[in-house]
Structure 1
Amino acid sequence: MAEKLLILEQVNIFVGDADPEDTNHVKLQSLGLPTLERAAVSHLGGGAVMGVNWTVGAFNALEPSFKLAGFTETSYKYLGIGSSASQKFTAYGVLRNKQTGAVLQAKAVLQGIIGKLTPDSFDRASAFGHDHGITEVTHYQLTVDGTEWFYLDYFTSTVRQFGNDETQAVRVALGVE
């Protein structure tokens, strides 16, 4: 059976708690979910005919981003200056199954701080906005239509993909579980 074609049609992001009174769906101009890239080390054996980049069971730092139109007080408040407390960011997306027309929910939850806030250059012919870079990401989970696709948590050393915990044996070997 062919895999479903799911197209992301609309998105919303909440900075802090997912309070419907503090929605950003009309201000959100773009959302960049984090790149998932395995950490690797290069190795070229003394007698080997080629090098290999071995993955080492970890992921590189996650760097999600989003852009909001205009000025947003919450964005400046959570910039992380004078406070090391991270915030929860929750993004919701409308996915459409292009074969059936069904609407599904995508949900991404991140824990981090706004580590970079870049205002646009003012131009009267363009919508003025702010690019937001989330840094110090310690938690990321992605669910689609209620199914967990990906889960990553720094503090518990947990990685799950589609419910499969890839790191339980590692935690046991390290004596942390």
Structure 2
Amino acid sequence: MSNLYVWEAANLFCGDEDPTKSKHLTLQNLRLPTLEEIFQDHHAGGARVAIEVGLGIKKLEPTFKLVGWDPDLLSQFGLGAKGKKRFTAYQIIRDKRAGTAIEGKAVIEGRLGKIAPDEFKRGDLLANDYAINEVTHYELYFDRREKFYWDFFINSVRIDGVDQNSDENTILRVPASV
């Protein structure tokens, strides 16, 4: 049965250590990572038509924008904060058929790699664009169900809870740990 799910609201925690550090009052926009496969063209010597060959998934690059200055995030930026942080985004997704609110959730581990302030203009709210780089872990949930899970260090990819790398990890003797 067809349905429409609309993303209505969001909140972001930049570092899950402190549950009081909600960004719900300053969050202006949030872009979850694009899931995009890497393809390379292959035109075989004896073939008349070329094909594309899938080779993996492109790096993940989430971004967000906050109104005003955020001193906590200034401290998390760049060389002064070499460790990764966990960023957790919560979304209200509205089931338009039933009218109910559904929880969306994304968990991202990476480093705050960009802070780009807007140009100052008197009378306008200044905001800052942020980027999370060096992403090594990503989870995406819809209605509390895991839709996508990826961890660089244990070479794990799950889609709808199904391990997509189990045969490769077994053959390569990659130790799995969660």
What is the one-letter code of the residue matched to 1:100?
Answer: A
User: What is the distance in 2 between the residues matched to 1:162 and 1:5?
Assistant: 20
**Match in the other structure for 2:47:** 48
**Match in the other structure for 1:89:** 87
What is the one-letter code of the residue matched to 1:86?
Answer: K
- Within a 5 Å distance, the mapping from 1:24-39 to structure 2 comes to 24-39=23-38
- Within a 5 Å distance, the mapping from 1:1-177 to structure 2 comes to 1-2=1-2, 4-17=3-16, 19-56=18-55, 58-177=56-175
Cα root mean square deviation, aligned: 1.3
What is the one-letter code of the residue matched to 2:68?
Answer: G
What is the one-letter code of the residue matched to 1:89?
Answer: F
Offset at 1:101? 0.6
Note the alpha carbon deviations across 1:95-131, whole angstroms, 9 max, x for none.
Answer: 1100111111100000001111100001123220100
Give 3-state SS (helix, strand or coil) of 1:156's partner: coil
List runs of 5+ in structure 1 lacking aligned partners. Answer: none
TM-score by length of 2: 0.93
TM-score by length of 1: 0.94
Offset at 1:82? 3.1
What is the one-letter code of the residue matched to 1:53?
Answer: E
What is the one-letter code of the residue matched to 2:25?
Answer: V
Give 3-state SS (helix, strand or coil) of 2:80's partner: coil
What is the one-letter code of the residue matched to 2:92?
Answer: V
What is the one-letter code of the residue matched to 1:37?
Answer: E
What is the one-letter code of the residue matched to 1:47?
Answer: G
Does structure 1 conserve the Cα–Cα contact (< 8 Å) formed by 2:155 and 2:174? no
Q: How many residues align?
A: 175
User: What is the distance in 2 between the residues matched to 1:41 and 1:155?
Assistant: 25
Give 3-state SS (helix, strand or coil) of 2:98's partner: coil
Give 3-state SS (helix, strand or coil) of 2:82's partner: coil
Offset at 1:5? 1.5
Give 3-state SS (helix, strand or coil) of 1:48's partner: coil
Give 3-state SS (helix, strand or coil) of 1:96's partner: strand
Give 3-state SS (helix, strand or coil) of 2:79's partner: coil
Does structure 2 conserve the Cα–Cα contact (< 8 Å) formed by 1:7 and 1:96? yes
User: What is the distance in 1 between the residues matched to 2:48 and 2:151?
Assistant: 37
